Amino acid sequence: MKNAKIIAFDADDTLWHNEPYFDEAQARFCKLFQDFASSQEILGLILNHQVKNLPIYGFGIKAFTLSMIETALKITDNNISGKGIEQIITIGKDLLQKPVELMPNVENVLQELHGNYKLVMATKGDLKDQHRKLHDSGIGHYFHHIEVLSDKTELDYEKMLGRLDIKAEDFLMIGNSLKSDVLPIINLGGYGIHVPYVTTWEYEKIDFEIEHENFIALNNIEEVLNILK
């Protein structure tokens, strides 16, 4: 992995906290509609709508807000009031204005690697929101290139590698999702490092262990320096 020429970092829940904000938003939504269904039922419906809508809306807060509205329509049998829709939109807007809180030691890692490698941020989500978070984070100057991907399939990575003019075997991806940040790139012949987060979105979970010569699992992002320095 030390021979990699480009190191890419996922953003949400790798560089900065993200998933807890969504958990908080879903808790607010469940409270709004607690008279219609249990929290477990509501969360299941939101997830189902999110997954079903991914080919149309993609990832991000705006897509999540639309899926919450569809869930509300479903559980109220299309009898939700305008006030109810407004409350859901407020939850979405609040998410879009959450502060950016860096993960511990992120900036130290970027400082140590910057100059020795080309650093890339490669993340999914809403383009405007991810650029806002990168700006607010104060770490944008460490990155040679920014990629906000519609998804992180092998095809998406192949296209990104083409834009970066880099071979997979010279590329290392670091992130908290085994499904999105590790599996696709090692399948292409690149390297993957998994840095777990305290919570994982259900859609990003896998039910098997990865054993591959190009893969390493670490406990925290600071341990990356033990591998690459």
Burial of 135 (0-12, 13-18, 19+ CB in 10 A): exposed
What is the pTM assigned to this prediction? Answer: 0.93
CATH, range 6-16+101-228:
3.40.50.1000
Residue range 1-54, pLDDT digits in tens: 888 999 999 999 999 999 999 999 999 999 999 999 999 999 999 999 999 999
For the cut 80, the answer to whether the pLDDT of residue 229 exceeds it is no
CATH class of domain segment(s) 19-95: mainly alpha
Residue range 84-108, pLDDT digits in tens: 999 999 999 999 999 999 999 999 9
Residue range 134-148, pLDDT digits in tens: 999 999 999 999 999
What's the pLDDT at 194? 97
For the cut 90, the answer to whether the pLDDT of residue 209 exceeds it is no
6-16+101-228 and 19-95 have identical folds? no
Give the domain ranges of the chain.
6-16+101-228, 19-95
Residue range 150-181, pLDDT digits in tens: 999 999 999 999 999 999 999 999 999 999 99
Q: What are phi and psi of 205, to 5 degrees?
A: -85, 145
What's the pLDDT at 1? 84
Tokens 């807007």 -> residue: 93
Tokens 């591998």 -> residue: 227
Measured between alpha carbons, how far is residue 60 from residues 19, 70, 81, 99, 186 in Å? 11, 16, 25, 16, 25
Closest to 114 in 3D by CA, of 153, 88, 143: 143
